[in-house]
Amino acid sequence: MRDASYDFLKRLLSTPGPSGYEEAAAKVWREEAEKFAQVGGDRMGNSFATIGAGGSPKVMLAGHIDEIGVMVTHVDENGLLRFTGVGGWDPQVLVGQRVRLLTNSGEITGVIGKKAIHVMEADERKKVSEIKSLWIDVGAKDADEAKGMVRIGDVGVIDQDLVELPNGRIASRSVDNRMGAFVVLEALRLLCEEDIGAEVVAVACVQEEIGLYGARGAAFGLDPDAAIAVDVTHATDTPGVSKNEHGDHSLGSGPVIKRATNISPIVSEGLIAAAEGENIPYTLEADSRSTGTDADAIQFTRAGIATGLVSCPNRYMHSPNEVVDVEDVENCARVICSYIKTLAAETNFVR
């Protein structure tokens, strides 16, 4: 991956943007997109970057820019903050984490607390943590001080910086799916270097983690001929993850192309052919129902949109340290670019 793209990826991953409050991350994305595309947004908070306006076919590339986070629900008499999850958390990974709370007066740091094991009863030690039994400590001496620092409804993210690991791997929060927002824009940048007739719109979608809402609104507004959603999928090269159920997707094995009952076989076969034509390594993933990604919301919008799904193998999904291979990320963008180069005005997506 070129240095400028890698720097952009790191900036994007480090910027907080939980579902419904993606503005800071969207600003980073839009500033990068303005270097080579026509940029805009909508009332939901989705960000758009367009090249080849007026071309045919019109193709939407969707990667959601939101991440899971926390939201303050109550301030108790000791100044401790009760909270709920924004998106799906395994509460076990939250215990002892530092958080960055986004308030009107700026970011403040807190620590997620739990009753110490030393003062637990024997039966308590055997129970898994639940969010309702955790709290955020911002160092306030009482409720009044805490209420001067935060308001009910303030959101936050885990305070976890990106780290570079050996073999071209990185660990960070927000990989799911800030990585996808990066990939669709990187694919657009690569397409700027090609002679294409299509209109291509990269979208940094909001609110995926709470219901696929942003992609649905964006797809309705754009009404594209075809779409490709980009997300992460479970890497199956760690203990306890069944390849029988999820397929064989190790870090470094390349993009994962989905074949599913609600995915357009025209698009998925086109992606496969493009990967093979460019010698891009890839694996296949199967779903007999829906995919659980923005592809689901896009494909049934309006009268239906021919939709494909490209994913990146990801270890430790929905944790403070999701791990991906940077080459896999880059190859996700490459395979999308390669596929769109094959499209022409007469390309038929009707089945």
- Looking at residue 114, its pLDDT comes to 86
Residue 131: its pLDDT value, please?
95
List 67, 208, 285, 322, catalytic entry: 208
Per CATH, the number for 69-158 is: 2.40.30.40
pLDDT for res 119: 65
The pLDDT tens digits for 26-85 are 999 999 999 999 999 999 999 999 999 999 999 999 999 999 999 999 999 999 999 999
Residue 208 among the catalytic residues:
yes
pLDDT for 48 equals 98
pTM score above 0.75:
yes
| Sequential DSSP letters for 184-219 | HHHHHHHHTTS---SEEEEEEE---TTTSHHHHHHH
DSSP label at residue 263: S
Could you give the C-alpha distances from 38 to 27, 30, 252, in angstroms and in order? 14, 10, 33
Which of 313, 330, 13, 31 is CA-nearest to residue 164? 13
- Give the residue ranges of the chain where pLDDT is below 50: none
CB 61 within 8 A of CB 186: no
Q: Supply the pLDDT for residue 120.
A: 67
> Both tokens of residue 9?
């990826």
CA distance 111 to 139: 9
Q: Are 151 and 104 in contact (CB under 8 A)?
A: yes
- Whole-angstrom distance, CA of residue 181 vs CA of residue 138: 31
pLDDT for residue 11:
97
Query: Domain segments of the chain: what residues?
Result: 3-67+173-341, 69-158
**3-class DSSP assignment, residue 293:** coil
- Give the pLDDT score at 125: 77
What's the CATH number of domain 3-67+173-341, 3.40.50.300, 3.30.70.2660, 3.40.630.10, 2.30.29.30? 3.40.630.10
pLDDT at 127: 80
